[in-house]
Structures are given as C-alpha cells and as structure tokens.
Chain A
Amino acid sequence: MTAAVKETPVTPLLEVRNLSKFYGARIGCENVNFNLYPGEVLGIVGESGSGKSTLLNCLAGHLPSDSGEVIFDTRADGPQDTLTMSEPERRMLGRTDWAFVHQNPRDGLRMRISAGGNVGERLMAVGARHYGDIRQEAGDWLARVEIDMSRIDDRPSGFSGGMQQRLQIARNLVTGPRLVFMDEPTGGLDVSVQARLLDLLRGLVRRLGLSAIIVTHDLAVVRLLADRLMVMKGGQVVETGLTDQVLDDPQHAYTQLLVSSVLQV
C-alpha cells in the first residue's frame, strides 16, 4: 500500500509562480502560486469579478500575463514555462495535452459543422487522416458523453444546451489531454443535466487520470469534483486547502461569508 504513495510522481504537472495580470491600474489577478499534481482536480471559487476567469485564461495562454511563470511538465521536454514558449508550441499544447471547456459551449464548438466533425477536427489537428477511424472514434466519444449515435451528422446548433456542453467535453477529451481547464462547466444548465455532467466528469477524471482546474461559483460542484480548493477575492488568493477542509472549517472572513451564504436545499 505504501508503494503506491511513493509511485506518485513528485514533479507537479503544472507549477504556477507569482502569476499577475493587470487591466491598466486594475488588478486581474495578483501573485498567484500553486502546484497541481497529476490526477488532481483543483477548484477555484470566488464571487464574480474576483479574477478567477482571468486567472484561468492566463494559465491557458488565452490572455497575456504581466508577470510570473506557468511551468507545465511536457511529455517530450519535461517542465517548460508556457508563457515564454513560442506561439506554435503553445498552440500545439492547446491541441494535445491541454483542453479548455468554455462556459458557453458556443465558444468551444463550431456551430456550422456536424457533431462528429466537431470531435473529429481535434483528431485531424494532431494528424489523424483515416476517415473511417476518425468517425469511429468520434462515435465512441459521443456514446461516452451520452449523445445518441443518430445525432452524429447533426449540427450542434440544433442541440440543447446540455447536449452542446457534453459535445464540447467530448471534443476536448478526444485527444487524451492531461490537463483540462474548465470555466463554469455546469453553469446555466438545469440541475438534472448538471448532475449528469458531474457524474460524467468525475468518471472521466478517474478513468483517464486527468488533472483539471475548474472555475465555478457553485460550492456544491467543487465539493463533489475538486480535491483542492482555492478561494479568490479581488484578484488575490485568500485561502487554499483541501476542498472539504476549506468548506467545513474556513479560516478567512470572505470564505466564511461565502460558505455561510449558500442556501440549503
């Protein structure tokens, strides 16, 4: 049993050092530091405007950061700072080891091509060329996210919001990424669809050994999905720790307010 503990790789998958982003004189996020290890799910919570989406976008390279380092343990060359990487290298990372699930599925999907095409596109971007294989793989993934095979040739514009979100997840995971960024993955979905998506995400995280960073304001979602939690306010990280510890024994005044403000169902 103890052997398994020692097997856990010591190199963090992602190492973030003093990351800051300013919008003119305003703070986007300031001096963010954390390590993410393989297989871990990190939740980032905070009120709107607290800088959580800014942070996520800086980490994923969608927004230029002003200072700091984001070191990712790449498959080929070991730990590399993704902020100083060349644009083509970073784009390659975005197509292979990284995935980004947007809050609004319309931002992450191509609405004018078929569901199968949306999934297949990521495969083609990493070199798959055999049409039959690509279609097979796309069909596989649609089944995993519980989209009926008969919808493979339909455009996502005709899908419901929950189906679009599941399609976006399939599109992102098809290339076997090691790190998934998620911005409010369950936001705007009704609770029954939310539960289904949570179940799906949790299963995928365990089976594929994914690491994920999930931004949300839904504390129930992080309790079920995240191993660790980071609480943000005004661009600063005010508290970090194990998810259940932060939620059950919050230390910072803001976290106490946040936790005590949740309505009980």
Chain B
Amino acid sequence: MITVENLAKSFTLHNQGSAVIPVLEGADFTVAPGECVALTGESGAGKSTVMRILYGNYLAQAGRVMIGDVDLTAAEPREILGLRRETLGYVSQFLRVVPRVPTLEVVAEPLLALGVADDAAFARARDLLTRLRIPETLWGLSPTTFSGGEQQRVNIARGFAHGYPALLLDEPTASLDALNRETVLQLIEEAKANGAAIVGIFHDVEARTRVADREVNVSAFTPVAA
C-alpha cells in the first residue's frame, strides 16, 4: 500500500545564509495492507519528516513515495487532495480547526467531505466521541477551548472517522490516560484488521510493541556527512 523508494530530503534556508540541511538519504521501506510499521530513532533523526513527506506536506528532493497507485512526489495538488480525502489519513499531534465549529462537526467532517449522508456521518462521530470518552455536553462546543488531552482525542476521532486504507499516526497515545490509551490502541487494531496500512511514531514502547508488526529505524537514513 505504501512504498518509499530511495527518498531524500534536505532543507535549504535561503534567509539564513542559504544553509543546506540534509535530513534523509536513501530511505526505503514498504507497508502492506493490514500492517503497522513503527518509525523509530532518536529525536531529530527525521521521523516526523518522513511522516510529513508521506502525507505530501513536505516535498522530497529525490525518490518516490507510492500511496496505492499514486506517486506523491509527482502528483498534482488536486490528486493529493483527492488522495487525502479518500485514501490517506493523518492524525497529527495538534488539532487545527476553524474556530466556532462544534466538535461533532469537526469529527464528522472527513465523512461529510466524502459525501456521506449527514445522519450516518454524525452517527459515526457520536460513536467515536463516546468511545473516546468525550462527555456529550462538549459535543456542541468548539474544541478550541478544550484541554490538551481532549483536543488530542477529538483529533484521533476525526482521524478514524473514515476507514482510510493508509493511515499515518504521529504519537497517537501521547498525553492520554490508561483507559483512553487502551481505546486508541483498539482503534488501531481495528483499522489493521480492516486492512489499513499504518505508519506510526510511538514513543510509548509498550504501545509500539503491541500494535507494530515491524520497526523501521530512521537513523539508518540519516546522511553520513551530517
């Protein structure tokens, strides 16, 4: 489902003396449907960079990234938008929403964007919010005023609303209590059972050993000169 071939990435900082910072070189790995791959490596090794390239958020300097049959490094913005709507989900560490939009709508939005009927989309949103223990009294409020943990759970609910065939998870269990952590791990296991290819960053070692089938150490892709 996800294939990364010979991927390279560097940042050129034009306004800081045109400094070039190489981050990745020759990154190669694949993720099959129903498989969960954990990216490992110390802080700064480039885990998040790989994730962002997989989402089309960062541009790669060289190599190919195939999500299904679309090459992200060569796709038009329109194709990437379509891919993100249908195929490729991303649970980031931060929730970014239009102020004033109620939580229930925030969670249902990925489904509404796919043209799912309002009833079905909101039913799914209610189900996820209940499972993630967001009290019903908060559903009608905008998540911008929620606590950090609540925002993260809203973000997770939103990421799992649609059953994406490829899913990227950036520390999904960070800052969650034991019960909610368990729910999130179950959601990941369900997604795997449904055939989703998952790439994740988990600092939580226990969670990683439980859901990940393999580990890919990103340090192996760090350019030698740096």
- Are the CB atoms of A37 and B52 closer together than 8 Å? no
With A227-B81, A249-B52 as contacts: A1 and B112 at CB distance below 8 Å: no
User: CB-CB < 8 A to B98: which residues of A?
Assistant: 195, 198-199, 202, 224
A40 to B113: give the CA distance in the assembly, Å: 12
CB distance from B132 to the nearest CB of A (A): 24
Bitwise interface map of A from 236 to 265 toward B, beta carbon under 8 Å scored 1, else 0: 000011101100110111001100100000
Which chain B residues border A2 with CB–CB below 8 Å? 86
How long is the Cα–Cα vector from A1 to B14 in the complex, in angstroms? 41
State how many angstroms separate the Cβ of B13 from the closest Cβ of chain A. 7
For B82, the chain A residues whose CB sits under 8 A away are 5, 8
Docked Cα-Cα span, A244 to B13, in Å, equals: 18
Q: Are A40 and B56 in contact (CB-based, < 8 A)?
A: no
Chain B residues, Cβ within 8 Å of A40: 78, 81
Q: How far is the CA of A15 from the CA of B10 in the complex (A)?
A: 33
CB of A228 within 8 A of chain B?
Answer: yes
Determine the distance from Cα of A251 to Cα of B58 in the docked complex, in whole angstroms.
10
Any chain B CB within 8 A of the CB of A129? no
For chain A, which range describes its interface: under 10, 10 to 19, 20 to 34, or 35 or more residues?
A: 20 to 34
Contact of B100 among A199, A228, A244, A245 (CB under 8 A): A199
Interface string of A188-223 (1 = CB under 8 A from B): 000000011011001000100000000000000001
Please measure, in the bound complex, the distance between the C-alpha atom of A249 and the C-alpha atom of B99, giving whole angstroms.
25
B1-16 CB contact bits vs A (8 Å, 1 = yes)? 0000000000111110
Cβ-defined partner of A5 (8 Å) among B14, B59, B86: B86
Could you tell me if A257 and B78 are in contact, using CB atoms closer than 8 angstroms?
A: no
Residue of A nearest to B70 (CB): A5
State A241–B78 Cα separation when bound (angstroms).
10
Contact A195 B57 (CB under 8 A): no
Could you tell me the distance between the alpha carbons of A245 and B56 in the complex, rounded to whole angstroms? 7
Least CB separation from B69: chain A residue:
A2
* Residue A4 lies at the interface, judged by CB distance under 8 Å to chain B: yes
Per a CB cutoff under 8 Å, which of A199, A202, A251 touches B59? A251
* A245 and B13 form a contact (CB under 8 A): no
CB-contact partner of A4 in B15, B57, B77, B114, under 8 A: B114
Contact B14 A245 (CB under 8 A): no
Are A252 and B14 in touch, CB under 8 angstroms? yes
> What is the distance, in angstroms, from B196's C-beta to the closest C-beta of chain A?
13
Interface assignment of B87: CB less than 8 Å from any CB of chain A:
yes
By the criterion CB–CB under 8 Å, are A242 and B77 in contact?
A: yes
Shortest C-beta distance, A134 to chain B (Å), equals 29
Assess the A245–B57 pair: CB atoms within 8 A. yes
- Selected A-B contacts with CB under 8 Å, 29 pairs: A1-B114, A2-B86, A4-B114, A8-B78, A195-B99, A195-B100, A198-B98, A198-B99, A199-B101, A223-B96, A224-B96, A227-B77, A241-B77, A242-B56, A242-B57, A242-B77, A242-B80, A242-B81, A245-B56, A245-B57, A245-B58, A248-B58, A249-B11, A249-B52, A249-B58, A251-B12, A253-B14, A256-B14, A260-B15
Given A4-B115, A245-B57, A253-B15, output 14 extra A-B contacts at Cβ < 8 Å. A1-B87, A2-B86, A37-B78, A195-B100, A198-B98, A202-B98, A206-B113, A227-B81, A228-B77, A241-B77, A248-B52, A249-B57, A252-B14, A253-B14
Give the 9 A-B residue pairs with the shortest CB-CB distance, closest first: A253-B14, A195-B99, A249-B58, A199-B100, A242-B77, A228-B77, A1-B86, A5-B82, A199-B98
List chain B positions with a Cβ less than 8 A from chain A: 11-15, 52, 56-59, 77-78, 80-82, 86-87, 96, 98-101, 112-115
